Structures are given as C-alpha cells and as structure tokens.
Amino acid sequence: MFTKKNETTGTSGASSTTPSATSKPAKPAGAVSSTPAAAKPKPAPSVLSSDLTVTGNLVTSGDIQIEGTVEGDIRAHLLTVGDSATVKGECVADDVVVNGRVVGCVRGLKVRLTASARVEGDIIHKTIAIESGAHFEGSVKREDDPLAGKKKTS
C-alpha cells in the first residue's frame, strides 16, 4: 500500500515523514561544513570576579580578565588586570593591560599601564604605554622578544 508512488501523491503519514527526514540532514550538514571552514569562533575571555581569591598559577592560551585577587603567576594571550584587582606574582602575556595593582614582574609584547594602575616590579616589554597618573616602582627594560626567557623555563 505504501509505495514510492503513493508517498509522492499525498499519503499523509508517508509524505510528512519523508520530506522532513530528507530536509533535516541536508541543512545541518551544510551548516556544519561551512561554519568551521569559514572561521573558528573566538572563545570568550575568562573572568575572575571581584569576590574571588586565587592562590596558585593561572595558565591559558586565551584571554583572561582579573577583577579579584591572584597570588601566583599568570600566563595568557591577553591579560587585563581590572581596577579592583590585585596580582601578586609574575604576569606574562602577549598583551598586558593593567588598571589595578600588580606586585611582581610584568612581561609582555605590549604593556599598557592606565591612569589607575599601580605596579611594583620590573616591566620587560617590546612596546609600552604609561598613562599620566599611573604609579610605577621598578625598572623598565625593552626586549625584542620579552616572552622568550619565560617560554624556555615553562
């Protein structure tokens, strides 16, 4: 009774099932193959909130934003130290933006101290920007590859 001819002519149970089964796999297959080929989505930055205290080292290949307190070294692609944040340890990243307090060495290809920044320690950088009002105690050293020394020891 249910043949290919009857499904096409309008048998309600077969015709409603057949097109939906055919169309569903085709659409996701196209979407799945085009999404990874087009561009990989960038993961959201990790955020440590202001009420969080971390004791230990943090390592990520992505971005991290610190709003709380970290007692340990931090390694990331982009490191942002928030206004209310305190980091006691070495900060190593391609890009470092300090709005809060850092007690320890800062290493980065690009280092930026905003007007609210408080840094007690050495800064090793390729490029640096220090806004008026930033507080900095330590030495500044420019290197072509400021991350090279840290990569060898990690």
Per-residue pLDDT tens over the stretch 101-124: 999 999 999 999 999 999 999 999
Low-confidence ranges of the chain (pLDDT < 50): 12-25, 27-34, 151-154
**H or E element in which residue 149 lies:** helix 148-153
CA dist., res. 96 & res. 107, Å (int): 8
Question: In the prediction, which pLDDT does 21 show?
Answer: 47
Question: In the prediction, which pLDDT does 43 show?
Answer: 81
Question: In the prediction, which pLDDT does 23 show?
Answer: 46
Are the C-beta atoms of 72 and 106 separated by less than 8 Å? no
Question: In the prediction, which pLDDT does 41 show?
Answer: 78
Question: In the prediction, which pLDDT does 1 show?
Answer: 54
CA dist., res. 133 & res. 65, Å (int): 22
Question: In the prediction, which pLDDT does 115 show?
Answer: 97
Question: In the prediction, which pLDDT does 152 show?
Answer: 40
Question: In the prediction, which pLDDT does 40 show?
Answer: 72
Question: ∠51-92-138 over CA atoms, to 5°?
Answer: 90
